Amino acid sequence: MPPTLHLGQTLVFDTSPFAAGPAAARHLSRGAVLVEDGRIAALGTAQDLSAAHPGARVVDHGDGLILPGFVDAHVHYPQTAMIASWGKRLIDWLNTYTFPEEMRFGDPAHATNIAGRYLDLVLAEGTTTVCSYCTIHPGSVDALFEAAEARGMRVLAGKTCMDRNAPEGLRDDARTAYDDSKALLARWHGRGRASYVITPRFSPTSTPEQLDALGALWAEHPDCLMQTHLSEQVDEVAWVRSLFPEARDYLDTYEAFGLLGPNGLYGHAIHLEPRERDRLREVGAAVVHCPTSNSFIGSGLFDMDGLMRDGHRVGLATDTGGGSSFSMLHTMAAAYEVAQLRGRALHPAELIWLATEGAARALRLEDRIGTLAPGSEADLVVLDLASTPAIAQRAARAEDIWEALFPTIMMGDDRAVSAVYVAGRQMVPGSAA
């Protein structure tokens, strides 16, 4: 196969815009990305790379903006079919909508159906990597990894472990949580583009024995990520305090059982105590901001500015289906609005970085995805910055790339996603599987 030369606008970050401001990014109005054997082989101007690679197959995206595929650092693929369920806050929402839906994943055919549906939905939104919770059923993990493998996608996922405060049929125990997770890890971790993630749902649904067993598993496989939820809603924090009277705070319910570490991913992290913030930063753990979810379930306003200033690693995510969207564009818009409510206007450079390299850093994958750096895997999204009349008329007035891009961040949807490539292979438009 000859290499492919993608031509269009490009945006490349030299460093984090949270550290260096928008000057962290270099914009080329006529840039080029050379893809060979599923990887990015070179990056430059259209003129230079066209001259250097006359044998390449050329795909000209015109004014389309070529970016790394979006990375969604916290999702629940089993909640696809019950996204946008009305009227509940976290604990009631879990009991009313989420747990009954997750129960259905005891049927492998249902899991396979939803896994494929979910990945096709996110690809259409320009997302090429997700880090997903599954259900307690090992088959739900197999279904997602098989669907990802069929599409060539880099996906991270794990069996969601729960042994209390969940209905009959949706509980394992300390032993089976450990055994199932270990077997799934052995089957999937590092197979192709799959990564296994050790996944205790959150401390209210795990006994101390289960948290301890999963902490032991993580100690055996410290290269794996571990994902869970932390301090999402005030009522939940109070519930954790009553369930773990010995704990210093919510984070301590993980720390005490070996579930705090540099490869830990803590979803939401809104209502943090000073000690929790300090410990998360000291160990180099990542927190994941899920803004549509935080508004939809009524959880609160994440402190992006403060956490970034303090040097935290922060990822961005939809939290489908607590989140109300599959789209990282929509999620960037929600992050902008949440930050505005806290008095900080996130720059479009910061929003795009969070949805690509920032989320990849949270997943410890920035050397493989989330950037256009040569050597990276060629997961790409191409955005049409004039995808609707409303966006086009606003973008027409833009004086620089940021003004041209911001209307698509705020108002764009899957119509703005004109092409998606996974490891160099075109997935959108076109049949995904």
DSSP per-residue string spanning 78-113 = GGGGG-S--S--HHHHIIIIIHHHHHGGGSHHHHHH
Closer to ligand GUN by Cβ: residue 202 or 353: 202
Comparing CB distances to Zn ion, the nearer of 5 and 214 is: 214
- Cα three-residue angle 237-242-245, rounded to 5 degrees: 110
- Greatest C-alpha distance within the chain: 68
Nearest CA-CA partner of 216 in 241, 240, 237, 185: 185
**Residues numbered 262-281 forming contacts with Zn ion, rule: CB under 5 A:** 267
Which part of the chain contacts Zn ion (CB under 5 A), choosing from 137-145, 275-283, 298-306, 319-327? 319-327
> Is 322 among the residues that bind ligand GUN (CB under 6 A)?
yes
Smallest distance from ligand GUN to CB 232, Å: 5
Q: Please report, for residues 147, 243, 359, the alpha-carbon distance to residue 112 in angstroms, rounded to integers and kept in the order given.
A: 7, 35, 26
Choosing from 127, 128, 135, 293, the residue that interacts with ligand GUN (CB under 6 A) is: 293
Answer with the entry of Zn ion, ligand GUN, none that 293 interacts with (C-beta below 5 to 8 A by kind). ligand GUN
Among 76, 154, 277, 279, binds ligand GUN (CB under 6 A): 76
163 binds, among Zn ion, ligand GUN, none (CB under 5 to 8 A by kind): none
Q: Select from 36, 163, 232, 252 the one that contacts ligand GUN (CB under 6 A).
A: 232
Determine if 210 is a binding residue for ligand GUN (CB under 6 A).
Answer: no
Q: CB-wise, 229 or 364, nearer to ligand GUN?
A: 229
Interface mask toward ligand GUN for 166-205; x: CB under 6 A: -----------------------------------xx---
> Nearest-5° angle of CA 137, CA 260, CA 88?
55
Closest CB to ligand GUN among residues 10, 140: 140
Residue 201 touches which of ligand GUN, Zn ion, none (Cβ within 5-8 Å per kind): ligand GUN
Rounded least distance, CB 102 to ligand GUN, Å: 8
> Quick check: helix, strand or coil at residue 74?
strand
- Total binding residues toward ligand GUN, as defined by CB under 6 A: 12
Q: Which residues contact 18 (CB under 8 A, 6 or more apart)?
A: 308, 350, 353
Does residue 255 touch Zn ion according to CB under 5 A?
no
Query: CA–CA separation, 318 vs 328, rounded Å?
Result: 7
Report the C-alpha gap between 217 and 77 in whole angstroms: 24
Q: Which is nearer to Zn ion, 119 or 382 (CB)?
A: 119
Residues 6+ apart with CB under 8 A from 263: 222, 223, 224, 225, 226, 285, 364
Closest to 206 (Cα-Cα) out of 233, 170, 231:
170
User: Does residue 377 bind ligand GUN (CB under 6 A)?
Assistant: no
Check residue 162 and give left, alpha or beta (phi > 0: left; psi -120 to 50: alpha). Answer: beta
Backbone angles phi, psi at 259, to 5 degrees: -110, 30
Nearer to Zn ion by Cβ, of 267 and 348: the residue is 267
Question: Of 98, 129, 165, 181, which one interacts with ligand GUN (CB under 6 A)?
Answer: 98
Q: Rounded to the nearest whole angstrom, what is the least distance from the CB of residue 233 to ligand GUN in the complex?
A: 8
Residue with tokens 């492919």: 4
Neighbours of 303 (CB within 10 A): 23
CB 273 within 8 A of CB 247: no
Interface with ligand GUN by CB under 6 A: which range of 15-23, 33-41, 90-98, 142-150? 90-98
Residues binding Zn ion: what is the number (CB under 5 A)?
2
Is position 319 an interface residue for Zn ion (rule: CB under 5 A)? yes
Question: Binding residues for Zn ion, per CB under 5 A?
Answer: 267, 319
User: Which positions lie near ligand GUN, rule CB under 6 A?
Assistant: 76, 90, 94, 98, 201-202, 229, 232, 293, 297, 319, 322
